[in-house]
Amino acid sequence: MVAEHKYLAEQGAKLVELRVDFIGRSIDLKRLIGERPTPVLMTARRREDGGRWMKSEEERQMFLRSVIAAGVEYVDLEDDIADQIPRYGKTKRVISHHNMESTPDNLEELHERMSKLDPDIVKIATMATSFRDNVRMMNLVKNAKIPTIGICMGEIGVITRVMANRLGSPFTYATFSEDKAIAPGQLNWKEMSSLYAYDTIDEHTKLFGVVADPVAHSYSPLIHNKAFKKIGLNARYLPFRVAKSDLPAFMDSIDELGIHGISITIPHKSAAMDYCTQVEASASGIGAINTMVTSDGNRIGYNTDYRAAMDCIMEAFKLDPEVKHSMHGITALVLGAGGVTRAIAWGLKQRGAEVTVSSRTEDRARSLAGELGCRYVLWDDRYDNKYRLLINGTPVGMHPDVDTSPYMESALNPLMVVFDTVYNPENTMLVKYARRQQARVITGVDMFVRQAAYQFKLFTGREAPSGLMRETIKQATNPVQIKE
């Protein structure tokens, strides 16, 4: 723990929490704090509060008193024992309350009660079970008269950690290692300080984000935040995990939270249209959006998946985008029946292509084909015809299942264009097959960067640094290979 403390100080950490309940039976307090490189917050958390303290409660409270006597900068005292441990010296008291199951309805009453326990800082950490829990917690922190840290734990509550500085919290929490999260939903120091630059998010920072369930896997915060930084915008792009049932609460909170635009992905692309005041014609035709921009009470929906995919395809076939039915006579097989597939298939139909849909789930393929007015074939029959354009809109070949392909190599040929929407990895097995057969290739990275660049311009009114976006996603999805 001493070595880790020094490392964090070297990385720029200004305050470090020492969780002594993680040390074990033997605690050398003098060594822990004797030559501390930063101020510390000492914590000995009980098991019922999410900690690992194994000794008696009497020993724990005795240890906390010794910590205060030693003159550390901060000590964490749970609200049910705070009145048993008096203030002494210059040590500041963080009075804390933890609920590992839910976020209670009486947050304000809880905060008021804790405010009477002689705190310098009130800390409330609860488990988020809905997005609305985040909003209630952030409002509590923002309106508190005593310095307050309010955290909603779990992936749903990540934004309460990132937004701490904007809300007025004295500090927030991160883990020093990617592999050692102390609490559910806790981000690591690098993410908090570099990816989100949490300590510079203020009342002037414009907020954007991605809405999905799940959302932790998304690379969108990485590429957008790097792009914002590149062109010097005071803006942040955050991950919002929102369940289907929670979408209304999230949409009701957009203006309150000051969110100016969102990327929308699974499972909300269709449902989000109901919350738009206006939808561009192509998104309306597709029946799904992946982008919403808010301004002066208006919410405008777009589908940048469609725009990006069509750009990629038109370039591959060297066709004029101004010609209405430029793809007339081109046969296309679209694999999958999800949101991306729907957008691409709709665009192909608009340009006159002969579109066939195939999915591992027959009912979904039949339904999509019926809605778009195109053919569908059974998954096992997808090789029965010849196609000029093959599009994979399934997750087959996506990390970590990188050794599979939705289409066999022997069915590919040099006259085809093969488009794999999977971007992690970029060089999927299908892409490798296509290149071996000398087919023209469109990768998922090509589409991902284009759609993100379109979103960036819709969000900011400025051209995106597409080269930086491409480099960032490639680095994130392709670890450095060591050559022997």
Peptide bond into 395 cis (omega under 30): no
User: C-alpha angle 109/145/14, rounded to 5°?
Assistant: 110
Q: Which of 463, 445, 471 is nearest to 308 (CA)?
A: 445
Place of tokens 């590919």: 412
CA distance 145 to 114: 12
Distance spanning both ends of the chain, measured CA to CA = 35
Q: Which of 222, 262, 204, 213 is nearest to 241 (CA)?
A: 213
What is the greatest pairwise CA distance in the chain? 83
User: How many Cβ atoms sit within 10 Å of the Cβ of residue 200?
Assistant: 12
- 272, 339 in Cβ contact below 8 A? no
- 266, 395 in Cβ contact below 8 A? no
Q: pLDDT 10s digit of each residue in the chain, 484 long?
A: 678 888 888 888 889 999 999 886 678 888 888 889 999 999 999 999 989 999 999 999 999 999 999 999 999 999 999 999 999 999 999 999 999 999 999 999 999 999 999 999 999 999 999 999 999 999 999 999 999 999 999 999 999 999 999 999 999 999 887 665 667 889 998 899 999 999 999 999 999 999 999 999 899 999 999 999 999 999 999 999 999 999 999 999 999 999 999 999 999 999 999 999 999 999 999 999 999 999 988 999 999 999 999 999 999 999 998 888 999 999 999 999 999 999 999 999 999 999 999 999 999 999 999 999 999 999 999 999 999 999 999 999 999 999 999 999 999 999 999 999 999 999 999 999 999 999 999 999 999 999 999 999 999 999 999 999 999 999 998 754 333 2
DSSP bridge pairs for 363: none
Residues involved in catalysis: 98, 123, 269, 305
Structure tokens at 381: 């029959």
User: How many Cβ atoms sit within 10 Å of the Cβ of residue 179?
Assistant: 7
**H-helix or E-strand spanning residue 283:** helix 281-286
User: How many Cβ atoms sit within 10 Å of the Cβ of residue 451?
Assistant: 26
Long-range residue pairs from 463-472, CB within 8 A, at least 24 positions apart, any chain: 464/227, 465/227, 465/230, 465/231, 468/223, 468/226, 468/227, 468/230, 469/223, 469/226, 469/227, 470/445, 472/222, 472/223, 472/226
- 409, 436 in Cβ contact below 8 A? yes
Q: What is the pTM of this model?
A: 0.92
CA distance 138 to 166: 10
In the sheet with 235-241, reading across from the earlier edge strand, the strands are 235-241, 206-212, 259-264, 291-295, 298-302, 278-279
